[in-house]
Amino acid sequence: MNKELIGLIKISKAVGKDNLLVQGGGGNTSLKTGDGRHMYIKASGTALKDMNEQKGWRRLKLGSVLAILKDKLITRLKPVDRENEIVNRLNLTCSDSVKTGSRPSVESHFHALLDRCVVHLHPVAVGAYVSAKNGKKELEKLFKNEKFPPLWMPYTDPGYTLAIKVAGAVESYRNQYGRKPVIIFLEKHGVIVAGKSPDVTLRLVRRVINICNAKLKKQKSAPLKAVKQKDIIDARCAIRRAFLEVTGRHVIVRHFINNDIAKFLTRRDAKKLASLPALTPDELVYANGPAVWLDKCTYKTAIDRLNRHTAKGEKARVSFLVRGLGLFVAGSEESIEAAKDVIIASLLVRGFAANLGGVNSLNRHERQFIIQWEAESFRQKLVEGVGNRELQGRIAVITGAGSGLGRSIAIGLARSGAYVALVDIDKKAIEETRGIIRKELLRSSTMTVYCDITREKDVDKAFDSILHKWGGVDILVNAAGIAPAYSLIDLPVARWRCALEVNLTGYFLMAQAAARIMIKQAMAGNIINISSKSGLEASRNNTPYNATKAGEIHMARGWALELGKYGIRVNSIAPGNVFEGSKIWNPKYIRVCAKKYKIKPEEVIPYYVNMTALKREITGQDVADTVIFLCSEKARTITGQTLVPDSGQVMVR
């Protein structure tokens, strides 16, 4: 790795880790090679803090980038065609071995015009001025003693248009001062700082921030009153439901409250400031606009406000400021973090700018350009992550997720786009499951929940932790189970009672807690009991398993009748013998089966496979696929039923 790339990564991480300097995937950095032939620059949509040796950057041929600015034919294209042409041409200037499909920043042009190292940031301290009506005058006062004063750029649509404007302004500045500017303030945007090296540029960044901060009037702390967790959960459920209703998307909702949010909420003009249009492009890209202000958060108030914005052709806002409660953000885990940082920075800027002659928001034309700009749509897609998979955004809870069918179902649900809560009494086992999912699906979201499902307090605590992390529950799969194998005359009553507790009481407690949440959400939902073919057709020496697996099916039928009016579907799956990774099919159980059928232990699995019509072994993925089908819209009219993935061993009567 050459020294320029090392330097770019160093400066990117230094500024990227501070949310007061840059938020989400905003901001840019670049560093030119010593021979002036190439420029390393941040890739579009990548967060500065996430850049490393393998990703987050591109190397461009500097001469080719500058040549784009000199091509007069580009100016004759329509805005949409022009910006697409620029994206294609910038990709052609790349000279590296990056294969990730990332593309260079759309700001590559004006980075190419400036000194060797360039940093473009959106600091809160700078935002206070560039988003204020008197911001330019105030900055002139702050930097009046500079030998080479900062360059002020009036707001211009980003991309090629801004690059052309910057090129002209830089040339005029050089004619006046004999050198290029090292500080450029971009109205309604941020600041660009340029220097001869990463260290020089970082020192200049800190100096600019300190100068801007020195004159900002800080608001005194004003902590909010204590908030009931019930009120927060109710608000999250209301927002989830409203967001689904308006967008058709299942999302998670997170709640945030810190000193900055609390101070803003206690301002007398909080509602007025929050209701102003977006201040910067990032606010539109990462949050679809500023936070929605709600005096009270209910499903009705949330959906009314969302509908009001979408009726104007805007995208559904993802953040909500609720008086007395705090900030709520909807989306995926990655998009929520980016939106949260952008919105909190916006709250701070709005407060500061109000004291500098008033807030200077993006006007309708400026907002419309950003919304329609392909480059920002590209950034937004990167933040939102993978596309619309079958169960995208659903929150799923799986018991027995540490092994066997529970593990297979958890992996399958994660593959289908669900957020997966792995519930088990074996802590080590669920961590192993989580590791398997993370290794295969880098952007998946899981949580491990230690829980004895036979204990009501454990179950309540488990669902509390799931609600705290994701704000709801859409799917419950009861997959935990035990199978004590004894003949009737040898069965210890303690083993009988243990099977009843795990296979029946555990299923009941989990379903009861999940159903209460699903009813409260009013977003429908799915409950699935993993029974067994033994629940349909009894087997010898299996009294507890036969009884409890049949009981699970009948419980599900009753629940389906009770919960149908809420749109909650309840079904059972009665798999055939699934051997892979099963704790039930352990060596002891296999020996019992071998004795029962008078065969050798190694002949047990082939024996059972041969009993099926298809002569095909059932895998955990087969059962997971059945779960995914039942939870999907394809099964929207199926409830109270039992599906039997067993290769045709048992026929449902």
Chosen domain end from 384, 417, 449: 384
Q: What pLDDT, in 10s, does the model give residues 460-483?
A: 999 999 999 999 999 999 999 999
* Lowest pLDDT segment from 53-57, 399-403, 547-551, 563-567: 53-57
Q: 269 with 333, same domain?
A: yes
For residue 326, list its beta bridge partners: 322
pLDDT at 255: 97
Q: What is the DSSP letter of 420?
A: E
Confidence check: pLDDT of 381 > 70: no
Report the b/e string of 22-58 with b at 16+ CB within 10 A.
bbbbbbbbbbbbeeeebbbbbbbbbbbbebeeeebbb
Q: What pLDDT, in 10s, does the model give residues 345-362?
A: 999 999 999 999 999 999
Q: How many CB atoms are closer than 10 A to CB 77?
A: 14
Tell whether 329 is covered by a domain. yes
Would you say 111 and 105 are in contact if contact means Cβ atoms under 8 Å apart? Answer: yes
Tell whether 601 is covered by a domain. no
Tell whether 223 is covered by a domain. no
Tell whether 330 is covered by a domain. yes
| Rounded Cα–Cα distance for residues 590 and 603 (Å) | 9
Report the b/e string of 101-122 with b at 16+ CB within 10 A.
ebbbbbbbbbbbbbbbbbbbbb
Confidence check: pLDDT of 81 > 90: no
pLDDT at 650: 84
Would you say 343 and 254 are in contact if contact means Cβ atoms under 8 Å apart? Answer: no
pLDDT at 653: 60
Tell whether 594 is covered by a domain. no
Clarify whether 177 is annotated catalytic.
no
Confidence check: pLDDT of 153 > 80: yes
- Cβ burial of 502 (10 Å; 0-12, 13-18, 19+) is buried
Catalytic residue among 286, 507, 545, 608: 545
Q: What stretches of 281-325 adopt beta strand conformation (E)?
A: 292-294, 319-322
pLDDT at 2: 87
- Which domain, by its residues, includes 370? 229-384
Helix/strand/coil for 238: helix
Confidence check: pLDDT of 387 > 70: no
The domain that holds 37 is classified in CATH as: 3.40.225.10
Q: Angle at the Cα of 19 (from 340 to 321), degrees rounded to 5?
A: 25
Of 142, 125, 111, 97, nearest to 44 by C-alpha is 111
Q: 442 with 323, same domain?
A: no
pLDDT at 374: 53
| Rounded Cα–Cα distance for residues 615 and 609 (Å) | 6
Q: 61 with 210, same domain?
A: yes
Q: 205 with 239, same domain?
A: no
Q: 424 with 399, same domain?
A: yes
pLDDT at 132: 97
Q: 368 with 413, same domain?
A: no
Q: 32 with 144, same domain?
A: yes
Average pLDDT, the chain: 92
Q: Record the pTM.
A: 0.90
Would you say 341 and 23 are in contact if contact means Cβ atoms under 8 Å apart? Answer: yes
In angstroms, the Cα distances linking 327 to 255, 311, 336, 373 are: 6, 24, 11, 28
Helix/strand/coil for 529: strand
| Rounded Cα–Cα distance for residues 237 and 253 (Å) | 8
Q: What pLDDT, in 10s, does the model give residues 43-60?
A: 987 899 999 998 999 999
Q: What is the DSSP letter of 267?
A: S
Tell whether 531 is covered by a domain. yes
| Rounded Cα–Cα distance for residues 566 and 548 (Å) | 27
Place of tokens 């079958």: 390
Q: 187 with 327, same domain?
A: no
Name the band, by pLDDT with cuts 50, 70 and 90, for residue 260: very high
Q: 379 with 425, same domain?
A: no
Number of domains composing the chain: 3
